[in-house]
Structure 1
Amino acid sequence: MEIQVRRQQRLVNLHDQENANVLKGKSNAILPVKRPGLTARGALGDLNTNAQAQRDIAIGKVAVATAEYEKKATLNRATVKSNYSHVRSKIDTGLAATKPIIQPSSRPPLRREESTAGHAAKAAARTKAVLKETQPKTNDENILKPRKPVQDKKPSRLSAVNEDSKPVLKEPTESLGKLKLAEPVKQELHLEKEHPPLPADVEDIDAGDNNSPLLMSCYIKDIYHYLTELELKYPIEPDHLRKQSVITGKMRATLIDWLVEVQRQFSLVLETFHLTVGIIDRYLQAVPNVQRDQLQLVGVTAMFLASKYEEIYAPEVGDFVYVTDNAYSKADVFQCERDIMSKLGFCLARPIPLSFLRRFVKAAHGTSKNHHLAKYFVDLSLIEYSMAHYRPSELAAAALCLSLHLLSRKTLEEVWTPTMTYYSEYTLEHLDPIIRKIAKIVVNVKNSKHKSVYNRYMDPKVAKVSALPELKEEAIQELAKIPSTTYL
């Protein structure tokens, strides 16, 4: 009797467990559909299913849906797991190949930047090294000596070691710590040059630019000191065409006047024009006996070089060939370009007047009109052969001084303040003859054959400074009366 009761109790527990598994979706068995009015034999005997027919049907549907969902989830997990099978296989391969039991190391957990693959490769390399150490060597004299237990090393930042690679170091790594390295060489830091304090009557024009990184107030003085050194390094000698047997100052003026039109036609920046004139003068000074038919080629090639140096989108070489009315070919321009660069030592770093002019206008607190008028004076001076030997900073300082004098109606002594003398490094006595030469050029511009600069500064964008009434008044006429020596 007791055995029968236990059997019935076991059947009841088994039946309850199957129902629970069906509800949880763990069983793939589908319940048979029961019809109303029929009986089914269960663990407790015959049961009437009229009352529970609809509920059993609903439970069967839920079990089927749950089983399908679990099957899809299992497939998805298997797919995701397969994506990392190559990583798992490397780890398993490295660990399964080891026969001796290695004690787990006390290394810190992997950092975020260390990859799993790299760590697995390092572990495999260490394991191989341990195996090699534990294998007996028949020819080793110290075979009977006990070996020290191998301990895991701390992870290093070296790249992962290939499993098939041989160890490079034959000596233990501990011996590296005994090596005596050379003492590091102490290098002196080249800090910015310390400038002496400003005089009491000189304004610090860079004091308000400390918060603007584009104005470089911390080393702007060093920059202009370096530009001044470059002026002295690449000078233009007085009467630098004396070595030319054919080229004269008038021919040079005609060439530069034509290049002003080329610059205007190509919409090039003013820096390109100033650099072009400097390249031409340096080349004519270095190369004697340039022929007449090669002068225009030198001019367009110089502007081609300057445009590549200054412009964002430089004109193509075919454009410069076109403006010469195809008098030269592209090959001629390229050959002349190589010749110019070799004669100039592949250096185009000679400064231009415009770089200094911006600095001087800032020191004088000049207006845009002062700036445009000074540029007009500088461009007129670049055409004149008698002004070619002046340094760019001298031309910029003299042009600005004349501009301030004419537009403010103050004397030259009043406009050339101690601040201007300090930042330009020129006194008024030094600039006075240059100012008078520029005034004479401006007064005679209408009688000159070269009017490209005059016409260009009739543009409203530059305030039409070439037509200002101040350029016809008595002040500039008085300055132009002093005769100046020319080399024409």
Structure 2
Amino acid sequence: MNKKENSNIRSIGCKRKSHVLDEVDTNRLPFNDTQTSQNVRSKKQKRSKSTLKNPYQKENLTNELTPSSTISSSQYHSTFENHTPLPNLNFANSVEVWNLMLKCDDTYKRDSDLFNHHTSLQPTMRATLLDWLNEVCQAYNLTRQTYYLALDFFDRFLSIQKDCPKKNLQLIGITCLFIAAKIEEIFPPKMNRFSFVCDGACSDKDISDMELVIMNTLKWELRPVTPIAWLNAFFKVYTFSDKENISKSKQQVNESFLIPDYESELFVHIAHLIDLCTLDAGSLAFSYSVIAASAFYHFTSEDVVLHCTGKTLDQLQTCVEWMVPFAIAIKNAGLDFLTDLNNEKSMIQTHTISLELLHSAQTIQADIETEKLTVLESSEASSLCPMTPSKMASMPPTPPRSTGTS
């Protein structure tokens, strides 16, 4: 190979390198005509002159290639505090990770008054549909995250849409589960499996058409931090703080922090309470992190919650009080399903709740409101509901309720 061929190869390599930079830089147009090439050359000359003036300043090129990163970082730090319950991670900035989760929790919002926008829908219809989706998840061995993604898509879709027909409710629900399974599951069931469980109420084409409607309505925003994801994060902090004493040390934690390594029975117990609470339309008034932290409080302690969730007592008090009837209903019903539990199935969504259990909790809730029973004593106005396991065990069971739905 002669010198001329070598020079041609080097020039081609330079052109390819420049072309890659032009694709990365969103402020520039591709090489499509002579005028564009001249504009690019002039920009390169200006850039080279500025580099000659300060050859050690590399931030200019970085900011030019990624103009949005600096802006989002400044906005992000001005919105949230530099505090996180996460340990010192060696693979990511724990403060940034936590703030991104909080930002996501604040972005993916649902309308607590969504039924006012749908004259033909009632909260009991939502509860019936979610209970059925829960059962479908168990039949197909879908994960808890898949179920809660579908729940989020369903609630946000109804929060945006107006006057949704009652006949479309099942189609919307199963399509949300189909989308969630494609996002979360390694081997998601095929579309015909989802239409099969509808027993002829909708076809594959109906699900495919509704999928486009839902995706466009949600603007393809499909990655919320669900209540079960928040609970998983709280448990990771709880487990590492307990075993490694990370809260009192500054040692870094590696990627093993991402692997679930905690007591599956306690996790499923708390997830069981979240499953029941989210059937009720009252859960729409609370963010996912608050729901998970409040359920976490019912079975741990105040100190654990403050350390592992990063929440204050004022942030959780309303939700914890609202959860009390659901915790009582679970205590009365018992936890016999835990006898067949193993670690492998702890993250699989199981159908352990029912509409009868929801009705029992709602009846207890109505009794508390009607009889003006307060969970907090007047001398303890600043403290939370003491629903830790030891105090739950001392509470007498409520009398059995009727099994009809409200």
TM-score bracket, normalised by the shorter chain, equals 0.5 to 0.7
Q: Any gaps of 5 or more consecutive residues in structure 1?
A: 1-115, 124-153, 161-179, 211-215, 406-411, 482-487
Is 1:297 paired with 2:171?
yes
Residue equivalent to 1:310: 184
- Which of 363, 366, 371 aligns to 2:267? It is 371
Q: Is the 8 A contact 1:370 1:404 kept in 2?
A: no
Instruction: Write the distance in 1 (CA, Å) between the matches of 2:221 and 2:331.
Output: 37
Is 1:401 paired with 2:297?
yes
Instruction: Write the distance in 2 (CA, Å) between the matches of 1:300 and 1:455.
Output: 29
Q: Is the 8 A contact 1:271 1:354 kept in 2?
A: yes
1:61-89 Cα distance to aligned partner (Å, 9 max, x none): xxxxxxxxxxxxxxxxxxxxxxxxxxxxx
Residue equivalent to 1:433: 318
Normalised to the residue count of structure 2, the TM-score between the two structures is 0.61
- Which aligned runs of 4 or more in structure 1 are off by greater than 4 angstroms? 188-196, 202-205, 445-448, 454-458, 462-467, 470-474, 476-481
- Which of 293, 298, 305 aligns to 1:416? It is 305
Instruction: Write the distance in 1 (CA, Å) between the matches of 2:117 and 2:291.
Output: 25
Is 1:391 paired with 2:287?
yes
Identity of aligned residues (%): 21
After TM superposition, list the pairs within 5 Å mapping 1:44-55 onto structure 2.
none
Instruction: Write the distance in 1 (CA, Å) between the matches of 2:269 and 2:9.
Output: 67
Residue equivalent to 2:278: 382
Is 1:460 paired with 2:341?
yes
Instruction: Write the distance in 1 (CA, Å) between the matches of 2:61 and 2:396.
Output: 56
**AA in 1 matched with 2:294:** A
Greater Cα shift, 245-254 or 185-194: 185-194
> 1:373, CA displacement in angstroms?
2.1
Residue equivalent to 1:23: none
In structure 2, the CA distance between the partners of 1:435 and 1:263, relative to structure 1 (3 Å rule), is same
> 1:390, CA displacement in angstroms?
1.2
Q: Is the 8 A contact 2:290 2:316 kept in 1?
A: yes
Residue equivalent to 1:255: 129
> 1:259, CA displacement in angstroms?
0.4
Normalised to the residue count of structure 1, the TM-score between the two structures is 0.51
Q: Which has the higher helix share?
A: 2
> 1:472, CA displacement in angstroms?
8.7
SS of aligned partner of 2:222: coil
Q: Is the 8 A contact 1:439 1:477 kept in 2?
A: no
Residue equivalent to 2:329: 444
> 1:238, CA displacement in angstroms?
1.9
In structure 2, the CA distance between the partners of 1:269 and 1:305, relative to structure 1 (3 Å rule), is same
Residue equivalent to 2:138: 264
> 1:155, CA displacement in angstroms?
8.4
Q: Any gaps of 5 or more consecutive residues in structure 2?
A: 14-43, 51-59, 64-68, 243-261, 354-386, 399-405
Residue equivalent to 2:47: 183
Greater Cα shift, 431-440 or 454-463: 454-463
Of structures 1 and 2, the one scoring higher in RCO (CA 8 A, sep 6+) is 2
> 1:357, CA displacement in angstroms?
1.6
Is 1:122 paired with 2:5?
yes
**AA in 2 matched with 1:380:** L
Instruction: Write the distance in 1 (CA, Å) between the matches of 2:394 and 2:116.
Output: 32
- Which of 158, 169, 182 aligns to 2:11? It is 158
Task: Work out the number of aligned pairs and report it.
Answer: 290
Q: Is the 8 A contact 1:230 1:350 kept in 2?
A: yes
SS of aligned partner of 1:183: helix
Residue equivalent to 1:283: 157
> 1:446, CA displacement in angstroms?
8.3
Residue equivalent to 1:475: 392
Q: Is the 8 A contact 2:112 2:284 kept in 1?
A: yes
Q: Is the 8 A contact 1:439 1:476 kept in 2?
A: no
Q: Is the 8 A contact 2:273 2:327 kept in 1?
A: yes
